[in-house]
């Protein structure tokens, strides 16, 4: 009986240990703000519905701009496929502003996408695989 109990505890410990490694820290640094005014807002997007703005992003972080950049560390993020969208909210209204022609008047960026070449990105184009204990993503606002 002691042997069965010990084996069960070892199996339970292995399962907990395996589950703990299915998460990590995702650090996102955003460069290229036009000024040090306002905040940079970072959205970690886990699926197409979030990408299409039908439901809120899985994780959102707002940081004050310092020396034209900001960094957010998202802890305990489940491993999986994600996309990151970010923008510089200079006037602190928590939304992207547009000019009279419908073009964004605040800088923005998306993982894996050059927005100057692709103005209609998809979730599939912008997603990346997060599967490490600590990953760093660097984005340049455009």
Tens digit of pLDDT for each residue in 23-51?
999 999 999 999 999 999 999 999 999 99
pLDDT over 60 at 16, yes or no: no
The predicted structure's pLDDT at residue 21: 76
Which is nearest to 131 in space by CA: 85, 84, 81? Answer: 81
pLDDT given at position 10: 41
Provide the percentage of residues in the chain whose pLDDT is more than 90: 84
Q: Residue ranges per domain, the chain?
A: 23-140
Phi, psi of 103 (to 5 degrees): -90, 145
Query: Side by side, which strands form the sheet with 69-78?
Result: 69-78, 23-31, 134-140
Find the farthest-apart pair of alpha carbons in the chain and give their distance in angstroms, rounded: 76
Tens-digit pLDDT profile for residues 47-79: 999 999 999 999 999 999 999 999 999 999 999
pLDDT at 14: 42
What mean pLDDT do residues 118-123 have? 92
CATH 1.10.1060 fits 23-140, yes or no: no
Report the SS3 class of residue 123.
helix
């Amino acid at each position: 009986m002691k042997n069965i109990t010990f084996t069960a505890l070892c199996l339970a410990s292995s399962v907990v240990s395996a589950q703990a490694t299915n998460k990590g820290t995702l650090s996102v640094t955003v460069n290229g703000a036009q000024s040090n005014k306002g905040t940079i807002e970072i959205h970690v997007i886990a699926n197409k519905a979030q990408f299409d703005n039908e439901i809120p992003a899985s994780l959102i972080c707002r940081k004050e701009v310092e020396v034209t950049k900001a960094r957010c560390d998202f802890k305990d993020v489940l491993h999986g496929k994600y996309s990151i969208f970010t923008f510089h909210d200079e006037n602190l209204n928590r939304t992207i502003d547009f000019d009279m022609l419908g073009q964004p008047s605040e800088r923005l960026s998306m993982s894996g996408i050059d927005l100057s070449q692709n103005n209609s990105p998809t979730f599939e184009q912008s997603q990346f695989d997060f599967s490490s204990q600590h990953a760093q993503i660097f984005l340049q606002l455009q």
